[in-house]
Amino acid sequence: MKTGHARLLLLVTLMIAPAACAKEKNPIKLGPVDTGAGTLTSARNYLNGRWILESFEVRLPNQPPVILKGAGMLTFDESSNLSMHITADQKSADLLRAGGVDIRDGQIITEGRAAVDLQNHTMTYILDGQAPLMRGPLGTDRPRHWVVDGNVLTLTTKDQAGQPTSVGRWRKDQ
């Protein structure tokens, strides 16, 4: 009789186990995504949208800073795509080109995905195995250090010694 009960119990267990396991397939519930101040989500939300260039300065080695005269727009979207389009006047374009800045037809254009690093306050282009889109003092291989002051975003590119090679100030387009 004990053997019969053991077989019956085993049979019932084998029939019930799959149903019980199916209920347990739900993933482990995690806490909510951090969305408050100082989180990656809040930084991306802040950056999301269009930004209008207020000022742009390029610091070339052994030369006075070039204060770019022109206009520009920066866009950052929910997929971390970052595009920057700056149009310079002829004099600024000539000075920048002579200093090694990749500027064609008076325009500086960079596009790609960007990784936001909260601890270091940087944005870095992600090029997925491609060569940098742009080289020189404004190279896309260099991180952009960012500082936020109200609706103004300041992006600074630095050289290997940590000295600024460019400083752009962008105002959020409402």
What pLDDT was estimated at residue 165?
Answer: 87
Residue 136: give the domain boundaries: 40-172
Number of domain units in the chain: 1
For position 166, which CATH number holds?
Answer: 2.40.128.50
User: Does 5 fall in a domain?
Assistant: no
Reported pTM:
0.71
pLDDT-based confidence at residue 153 (cuts at 50, 70, 90): very high
Distance CA(22)–CA(20), nearest Å, equals: 5
For the stretch 49-87, pLDDT in tens is 999 999 999 888 888 898 999 899 999 998 888 888 999
User: Does 1 fall in a domain?
Assistant: no
User: Does 29 fall in a domain?
Assistant: no
User: Does 52 fall in a domain?
Assistant: yes
User: Does 131 fall in a domain?
Assistant: yes
How many CA atoms lie within 13 Å of 127's alpha carbon, on the beta-carbon side? 15
Distance CA(169)–CA(92), nearest Å, equals: 17
**Please, which residues have CB within 8 angstroms of residue 74's CB and are 6 or more apart in sequence?**
50, 51, 53, 82, 83, 84, 85, 153, 155, 168, 170
Q: Is it the case that residue 18 has pLDDT exceeding 50?
A: no
Q: Phi and psi for 164 in degrees, rounded to 5? A: -65, 135
Dihedral sign (CA 77, 78, 79, 80): positive
